[in-house]
Chains A and B, each alone.
Chain A
Amino acid sequence: MKSLLALGVVVLTTAALAWAGSDAQPKAGGAPKPAITKAVKGEQCVEDTDYMRRNHMKVLNQHRDQTVIEGVRSKKHSLKECINCHASEKTGSVAAAKEDFCVSCHSYAAVKIDCFDCHSTKPQGSAAMHPLNAETAHYKHQLAAQATSKVSAEEMARVAQ
Chain B
Amino acid sequence: MVFIKQVPDTKSKAGVNPDGTIDRARAKRMLNPFDRFALQKAIELKKENGAEVTCVTMGPPKAQEILIDAFDYGADYGILLTDKRLAASDTLATAYALSALAKYVGGVDIMITGLQTTDGDTAQVGPQIAERHNVPQITYCESMKVDNGKVIARRVVEGGHQKLESTLPVLITMANSAAPLAPKRFAEVAAVKEFLHHPEEREKRVKSVNLDDIGADASKAGLVGSPTVVGKTWKLGELGGSCVMYQGRSALDEVNELAEQLQKDDRGIGELING
Specify whether A and B are partners: no
* B interface, CB within 8 angstroms of A: none
Q: Interface residues, chain A, CB within 8 Å of chain B?
A: none
